[in-house]
Amino acid sequence: MKASSIIASDRTLDRVLFALKMRGATSTSALAERMEISVPGVRQHLERLLEAGLVRFEDRSGGVGRPARYWSLTHAAEARFPDTHADLTREMIGTIRSALGEAALEKVVASRHAAMERRYREAVGDARRMGTRLERLAAARTRDGYMAETEKTTDGWLFSENHCPICAAAESCQGFCEGELDLFRRLLPGARVVRVDHRLAGARRCSYRVTLQREPEDR
């Protein structure tokens, strides 16, 4: 049975894929707890996804008892989370670069980031507390397909994007990634923003550590 047919036959399988996309390698028991279904039930779904070539597993020893089985997505499953118009994007970037030069491509990228900044500033609004700004930014990025989330840490926040809908463009032109890091820094005044995970460097997702330098009062 084709992978698409397997997924279409049971929407719970989509939930399993989504959970693994958001969390990365996850044990069977942790996945069952997150999805609020039984361990045997989630194991059944994982076996079907394994048969379809959409998940893989690794047995990890915890020191005592049987090794725990951790599941993650295959490249075939990653393809279910689309890169927006990937082939067309690569072709257009190549055409601009060859016909108009690198400077023209840089102007195109800068124009895109300027438009994004206007939209995200509107989404963030007048919130001054960093946690609120990050939550609103994550919501805006999720609407744009980045599956973003923010997590409070002991020294600040971790802002993560579990999907990149423009990965093909970023692979063809590094300016997209560099510009986004600068964009986040402008949108989060009073914070130090450092990229700690990068998809183009082989990581599962892009993540940024946000450390507060000063906490303004909300209006």
Tens of pLDDT, residue by residue over 52-79, are 888 888 888 876 778 888 998 887 787 6
pLDDT given for residue 21 in this prediction: 85
Higher pLDDT, 102 or 138: 138
- Asked whether residue 195 is domain-assigned, the answer is yes
pLDDT score of 152 more than 80? yes
Retrieve residue 41's tokens. 């039930």
Q: Given pLDDT bands bounded at 50, 70 and 90, which one contains residue 137?
A: very high
Instruction: Tell me the CATH number at 18.
Output: 1.10.10.10
- Asked whether residue 217 is domain-assigned, the answer is no
Same-domain status, 166 and 102: yes
Q: Among all chains, which residue has been given the structure tokens 């969390």?
A: 23
Instruction: Tell me the CATH number at 179.
Output: 3.30.1380
Residue type, 110: A
**Buried-state track 9-34, b at ≥16 Cβ within 10 A, e below 16:** eeebbebbbebbbeeeebbbebbbee
Higher pLDDT, 49 or 91: 49
How far apart CA 162 and CA 45 sit, in angstroms, is: 22
- Yes or no: say if 52 and 1 are a contact pair by the CB < 8 Å rule: yes
pLDDT score of 213 more than 80? yes
pLDDT given for residue 11 in this prediction: 80
Domain span including residue 189: 86-212
pLDDT given for residue 95 in this prediction: 85
pLDDT score of 167 more than 60? yes
- Yes or no: say if 219 and 128 are a contact pair by the CB < 8 Å rule: yes
Same-domain status, 18 and 93: no
How far apart CA 22 and CA 40 sit, in angstroms, is: 22
The mean pLDDT of 133-139, rounded to a whole number, is 96
How far apart CA 197 and CA 209 sit, in angstroms, is: 9
